[in-house]
Amino acid sequence: MTAEQIQENGLTRMPVSRALAKLKTIKANIDSALIDSVRFFHITQGTKAPRLLTPGDTIESAKAKAVGALQSFEKLQSNYIAIKAAIALSNAKTLVKINDVEYTIAAALELKKMLDSKIKMQTLLRKQHIECSNTVRQNNEKLEANLAGDKKDSNSTLTEQEQKDAIEQLHEIQRNLVQVNLLDCIGYDEVSTRLKNETDAIKTDLDYVLNESNMVTMIEVDLR
């Protein structure tokens, strides 16, 4: 990971990957500063020559520690915000390709957040497709079974072929009236393939592409 470099303009230059690691460290230090370890208030005793009621430190030293701790906390927060803003600005401009589609880093990160919903949509489409396909198959199998029960009338004046043709005509009319079909409103096969390709690309390529970009993309930050 490339080290930080202070530029002539006073800004600190670093790769995004370094900045992300620095954010974690700063956040940990901020959290640590919120632990009740530095005393910002004390109780003194005496009026002419006040001293801390709790021994072990002077009033001047206690004040210096409290002021220093607060200043350090505010500096950490300021640097955290500055780095986050610089990364956000970079992410809004830096481009990467996922599954042959170009995205800004910011958009790619949002795409990653949408992975779970894409998977859920695939599951929903697959479930409905299977349910409707099974219903169509079962209904039409039942229809064909009923039609197969039609028998020729031995007492009919029609010839065997004429009876056969008449039954087929009747079956055709019944099929036209009763037979069910699957209505695919979205072009399921194409949509399913596209969603799968997009999901696979996010799973396999996105993190690698983002890491590669973060290692080479440089930002400049005004650190205190």
3-class secondary structure per residue, 107-176: HHHHHHHCHHHHHHHHHHHHHHHHHHHHHHHHHHHHHHHHHHCCCCCCCCCCCHHHHHHHHHHHHHHHHH
Is the pTM of the predicted complex or chain greater than 0.85?
A: no
Residue pair 5/218 in contact (Cβ under 8 Å)? The answer is no
Query: In the chain, where are the structural domains located?
Result: 5-113+211-221, 116-203
Tell me the C-alpha distance between 3 and 15, whole Å. 8
Tell me the C-alpha distance between 114 and 116, whole Å. 6
29, with CB counted inside 10 A (0-12, 13-18, 19+), is middle
- How remote is the C-alpha of 96 from its chain's centroid? 17
Q: Which two tokens stand for residue 157?
A: 């004046």
Q: Which amino acid is at 139?
A: N
CA-based nearest residue to 202, from 119, 106, 120: 119
Residue pair 94/104 in contact (Cβ under 8 Å)? The answer is yes
Q: What is the pLDDT along the chain (224 residues), one digit of tens a residue?
A: 457 777 778 889 999 999 999 999 999 999 998 887 788 888 998 888 888 888 788 999 999 999 999 999 999 999 999 999 999 999 999 999 988 899 999 999 999 999 999 999 999 999 999 999 999 999 989 888 888 876 655 556 666 677 777 778 888 888 888 889 999 999 999 999 999 999 998 999 999 999 999 999 999 999 98
